[in-house]
A and B are shown apart, each in its own frame.
Chain A
């Protein structure tokens, strides 16, 4: 059991994605970088930056940190929302696209490109849901 959005969770999640998802078949060879800004993370309501970057479908980076310097990393999309919403997404209760439709998260970035990566991102989320996680 790993704590959601902890460094340990990030390490385990990356391992799992690299081991279980095929860059071409599952992740459609996508090239994308995404910064998730998770607000009001308990217990002290801080902000955690959950950053992912794919190159040709391979997960190159997966970070979860409160260190603001991560904001310097290149991100084509920034998704901002509350901790409770990200828990719903990461635990499979709601897809990220549905969270966007329901105004639970705000997204900055090219929506046309976002439209093309919703499926592989959904597959990525489904994979990390399988981690034994403490929310």
Chain B
């Protein structure tokens, strides 16, 4: 009886969320223009295709596959229709009909980017009601799509402009210019046939994972080299084969498997995969960026991550890296002309190494007010090979990732900088033995409980701008010590004492019950789980678009600080909001990977121009530093050995080389006026 009561209660709660969502929308007769601001800024993180909150997935997206049926694509369509980039077709009617405003996407999207996709869906529903029958285009099947359908089935290939438009800004440039096709194969044999078909029709093709990388790059001057001007987009979402072999501690996966899905499957065997952000497709990420993580000092990068890769080359031949007859698969080009943002092969299967999770894993955080001191400790930990995950995190990342809204993150960021002097954190996941050593090495540390308090108390911290306690703390000689190791720690923790109920007050009222329940789950406040599943990084896209800067370099502090300076100066000169993101090491600290981000409003043409200038200037400065390989020059080389990419250390460009660099930039991207 009691159980039935709980079920009923839970059902009523679910129903009330849906009816609230609907009631907000009902009768509002929304226009596409009403949601234009949010749809224009939609960052295409692709998290709506990952069941990271246990809500289940968008039923329409799951059924139909094409981006157009997922919340991300619907938002893009709402924008494209509002901006008259595409005309309504039959597919639009089907897409609109397929959404019943269930609200799953609102929960997912609000958690990550504070958006409510249902508002865009409602606007599309209302827009469709205004269309007369003669305004709907019927798209004829041409020879290419007919042949594609013969390969994958009628349902999985299209030349419908509406479906194509939903891929804009997540693989196609805005607005798409040439003639495109979307195809969703299920098997490698189908991909072979698609590649051969493209050759027959002399049109280019491009594989698509979840599109996150394109979402960032297509806003910049790298858009042209990153994509195709016409041709076939091969959406790999359907290829979700996943097999864990606990005996060999490996996973064999298809190219549609996301990092989250692989991690979840690995965790079921008490194993861990070294994966990128939750939404990224593992095969694409491994091929494109080599899988960049905080676990790299222990688990590695590039070929360290996998045993074998199966791929299809440009002739349609299926190959394996383990084949004896393939040309040295690990050799790679270096230098300026090695930039290649388009993969030369399509990875169809990857067998990855997994890692055993230690039973006594714990988290240790060491706060710092300056980067130099943080790097000293982090490098020592890397050299001593302590811990499994090791990174230097910036204040920006810490506050943005753990805060439920961007406004709270900004408030928290202010408090951390102004009062706590908390600017960097050395962030370690380690066993109990390493933890003891790290605690001996560091003056101040805090652990899982404090992180939980910071997450649940983030809105409270953000509201403490006028707090006497914080003012008192800021007047201490070492505020970090006072907060995290001194007598004020107890008061600080007590002041923070927060529950999920307190935290969710920041959410829209109809979402609060859901998020209260969500934040009551231990994993949402567990740093080890969050480092493994990486569901938070896309929160950096809540306010603005960003552009990844940085790359690989020798692990010494002097070089790292020079690179930070080389990235910071162009941001300042071009009035771009730049911030250190995170730094991790490889090979016991011999090498380091740095992410520094440029944040900007990608809907503002002037901001785009400035960010492009900052990108070029940051290349120029980074290439002048010995041993540095900017991230873009790692792209498409993840299947190669890091030893072939990063060694020998590039010498640093001379004055004459830099002049040629200017010429190359002009050849590739034209002058500044064209950016």
Q: A-side interface residues toward B, CB under 8 Å?
A: 40, 82, 84, 95, 97-98, 100-104, 107, 111-112, 114-116, 118-119, 122
Contacts and interface: CB of A to CB of B under 8 A. Distances in A.
B337 A114 contact: yes
A119 B204 CA distance: 26
A97 B668 contact: yes
B341 A118 contact: no
Nearest to B227: A102
B225 A101 contact: yes
Interface string B649-667: 0000000010011011011
Contacts of A102: 225, 228, 340, 342
Contact of A104 (B204, B336, B664): B204
Contacts of B661: 115
A101 B336 contact: no
Contacts of B333: 111
B664 A101 contact: no
B234 to A, nearest CB: 15
A112 B336 CA distance: 8
Contacts of A114: 337
- Among A84, A101, A107, A112, the most chain B Cβ lie within 10 Å of the Cβ of A101
A115 B337 contact: yes
21 contacts: A40-B202, A95-B667, A97-B667, A97-B668, A101-B341, A102-B228, A102-B340, A103-B340, A104-B204, A107-B337, A111-B337, A114-B337, A115-B335, A115-B660, A115-B664, A116-B660, A118-B337, A118-B663, A118-B667, A119-B663, A122-B667
A100 B196 CA distance: 21
A82 B338 contact: no
Given A82-B202, A84-B202, A98-B225, A111 B667 contact: no
A101 B342 CA distance: 7
Interface of B: 202, 204, 224-225, 228, 314, 333, 335-344, 657, 660-661, 663-664, 666-668
The 4 A-B residue pairs whose C-beta atoms are closest, nearest first, are A119-B663, A101-B225, A111-B337, A122-B667
Contacts of B667: 95, 97-98, 118-119, 122
Nearest to A119: B663
Contacts, number: 58
Given A95-B668, A98-B667, A118-B660, 10 more contacts: A82-B202, A97-B337, A98-B224, A98-B225, A102-B342, A103-B314, A114-B337, A115-B335, A118-B663, A119-B663
B223 to A, nearest CB: 12
A101 B668 contact: yes
- Among B344, B657, B668, the most chain A Cβ lie within 10 Å of the Cβ of B668
Contacts of B341: 101
A103 B340 CA distance: 7
B343 to A, nearest CB: 8
B347 to A, nearest CB: 15
B448 to A, nearest CB: 45
B636 to A, nearest CB: 8
B107 to A, nearest CB: 39
B225 A118 contact: no
A82 B315 CA distance: 12
A54 B73 CA distance: 51
Contacts of B336: 111, 115
Contacts of A115: 335-337, 657, 660-661, 664
A61 to B, nearest CB: 23
B667 to A, nearest CB: 5
Nearest to A112: B335
Nearest to A104: B204
A119 B335 contact: no
A116 B653 CA distance: 12
B522 to A, nearest CB: 46
Contact of B342 (A82, A103, A122): A103
